[in-house]
């Protein structure tokens, strides 16, 4: 019967409403007339109950945080072990030759594999300098690496094994390429590595056999350094995968470097190669089409008598298709600081900075992405 059901519902709801109103009145009375002990006692009980709930919630949150930290620490340890095992299991002859020691100290207590692991792990913790990596290892990872040498020996040995980082970068890059077969879209571009900028570029002397002075049109400034040329495989919704890398002087022409890389390495074929206006060359375009089945696609070069002054659809399309390689360069700079080499003081230090940064970036793509 509807009458009976509604009355029962009212009887069930009314006490809760009364209790809620009473609690609100107790709170108001406690504020307006603090002399009423009964009301104050009720409010105090309610506040204590709420405080108990908050304490329980905070305890639960602390336990969850502890579990999360334990899980993160276990993941961290697993990644560290994975990197170390990957380096130790590298049986490439070039890698072993770079680590070979022609001295009495041919079996150091702190091995070169451990040295490479420490450096790559420190880079993964966003530590961009050797001093920061060494201090982090000494503070947090000394149980894992108890035979860590002095800072001077640490830096000296890193410079000595720059070639090992180069071999690791080459091996991991080939592994990444083999994991992404069947792509038909590629991009080529270059990125400057600045040892000195602006007025310092004129009197800079670091790395003279490899570095020279050049103008950076993007930043509109002169710099002293080198240039890294990259062929990459474009992937939808992900970072491009570098498939060929070459280091030249800063003033070396992008087109010449790309031609040389295609002749020596032939990293890409059977698809479309996107590039900027620096790679416009009709003869090379025909050569790529005939020899490698590649269609070189660049923005249109602007001419004084051109009707389409700017903003034509084709150039905009090409710029959008090659935008991922610019994102790759930004990602490289953010995670490794490869473009900033102002801390370098020798040619050995510059080569180590380049090869170690590339090896670290390829390890990120291989183990984390």
d(CA 181, CA 238): 15
% of the chain exceeding 70 in pLDDT:
75
Q: Is the pLDDT of residue 6 over 50?
A: no
Cβ(112)–Cβ(145) under 8 Å?
no
pLDDT at position 319 is 85
Count of alpha carbons within 13 Å of 139, Cβ hemisphere only? 7
Please enumerate in sequence order all residues whose Cβ is within 8 A of that of 211, keeping only pairs 6 or more positions apart, or say none. 195, 204, 224, 225, 226, 249, 250, 350
The whole-number pLDDT of residue 74 equals 63
**In the predicted model, what is the mean pLDDT of the chain?**
81
DSSP H/E element including 228: strand 221-233
How many whole angstroms separate alpha carbon 25 and alpha carbon 16?
A: 14
Least confident interval from 76-85, 176-185, 328-337: 76-85
What mean pLDDT is predicted for residues 13-24? 52
Q: What is the DSSP string of 113-145?
A: HHHHHHHHHHHHTT--SHHHHHHHHHHHSTTT-
pLDDT at 30: 47
Does pLDDT of 13 surpass 50?
no
What pTM was computed for the model? Answer: 0.76
Average pLDDT over residues 159-176: 92
Over residues 78-93, the mean pLDDT reads 85
Query: Interhelix angle for 282-291 vs 254-264, to 10°?
Result: 20
Cβ neighbour number for residue 260 with a 10 Å cutoff: 14
pLDDT category of residue 38 using cuts at 50, 70 and 90 = very low
Which pLDDT does position 187 carry in this prediction?
A: 95
What's the whole-number mean pLDDT along residues 140-162? 92
Write the CB contacts of 199 (distance below 8 Å, at least 6 apart in sequence): none
> Could you report the per-residue pLDDT of 73-82, keeping only the tens digit for each?
566 678 888 8
What pLDDT is recorded for position 189? 95
Looking at residue 31, its pLDDT comes to 45
Neighbouring residues of 160: CB distance < 8 A, sequence distance ≥ 6: none
pLDDT for 52 equals 57
Tens of pLDDT, residues 260-282: 999 999 899 999 999 998 999 99
Residue 208 has pLDDT above 50, yes or no: yes
pLDDT of residue 96: 83
261 closest CA partner among 238, 242, 234, 276: 242
Instruction: Read off φ and ψ for residue 2, nearest 5 degrees.
Output: -65, -35
CA distance 74 to 72: 5
Which has more confidence, 58 or 123? 123
- Of 222, 221, 197, 224, the closest CA to residue 208 belongs to 224
Dihedral sign from CA coordinates of 95, 190, 353, 336: negative
Q: What is the mean pLDDT of residues 96-107?
A: 73
Cα–Cα distance measured from residue 295 to residue 165, given in angstroms and rounded to the nearest whole number: 34
pLDDT band of 291, cuts 50, 70, 90:
very high
46-60 tens-digit pLDDT: 555 555 555 565 665
Greater confidence, 74 or 291?
291
* Residue 341 burial (C-beta neighbours within 10 Å; 0-12, 13-18, 19+): buried
Whether pLDDT at 27 is above 90: no
pLDDT at 283: 93
């Amino acid at each position: 019967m509807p009458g009976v059901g509604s009355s029962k519902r009212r009887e069930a709801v009314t006490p809760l409403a009364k209790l809620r109103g009473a609690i609100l009145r107790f709170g108001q009375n406690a504020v307006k007339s603090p002399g009423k002990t009964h009301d104050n006692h009720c409010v105090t009980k309610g506040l204590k109950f709420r405080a108990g709930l908050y304490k329980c919630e905070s305890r639960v949150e602390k336990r969850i945080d502890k579990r999360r930290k334990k899980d993160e620490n276990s993941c961290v340890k697993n990644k560290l072990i994975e990197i170390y095992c990957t380096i130790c299991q590298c049986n490439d002859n070039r890698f072993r030759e770079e680590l070979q020691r022609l001295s009495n100290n041919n079996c150091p207590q702190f091995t070169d594999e451990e040295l490479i692991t420490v450096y790559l792990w420190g880079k993964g913790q966003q530590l961009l300098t050797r001093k920061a990596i060494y201090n982090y290892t000494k503070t947090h990872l000394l149980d894992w690496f108890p035979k860590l040498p002095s800072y001077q020996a640490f830096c000296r040995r890193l410079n000595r094994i720059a070639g090992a980082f180069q071999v690791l970068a080459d091996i991991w890059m080939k592994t990444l390429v083999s994991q992404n077969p069947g792509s038909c879209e590629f991009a080529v571009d270059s990125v400057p590595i600045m040892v000195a900028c602006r007025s310092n570029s004129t009197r800079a002397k670091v790395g003279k056999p490899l570095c020279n002075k050049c103008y950076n049109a993007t930043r509109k400034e002169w710099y002293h350094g080198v240039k890294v040329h990259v062929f990459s495989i474009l992937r939808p919704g992900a970072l491009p995968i570098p498939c060929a890398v070459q280091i030249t002087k800063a003033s070396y022409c992008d087109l010449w470097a790309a031609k040389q890389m295609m002749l020596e390495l032939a990293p890409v074929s059977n698809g479309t190669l996107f590039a900027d206006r620096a790679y416009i060359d009709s003869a090379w375009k025909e050569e790529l089409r005939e020899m490698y089945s590649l269609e070189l696609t660049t923005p249109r070069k602007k001419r004084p008598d051109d009707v389409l002054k700017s903003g034509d659809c084709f150039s905009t399309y090409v710029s959008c298709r090659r935008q991922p390689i610019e994102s790759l360069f930004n990602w490289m700079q953010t995670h490794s600081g490869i473009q900033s080499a102002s801390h370098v003081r020798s040619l050995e230090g510059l080569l180590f900075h380049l090869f170690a940064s590339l090896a670290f970036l390829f390890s990120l793509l291989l183990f984390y992405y």
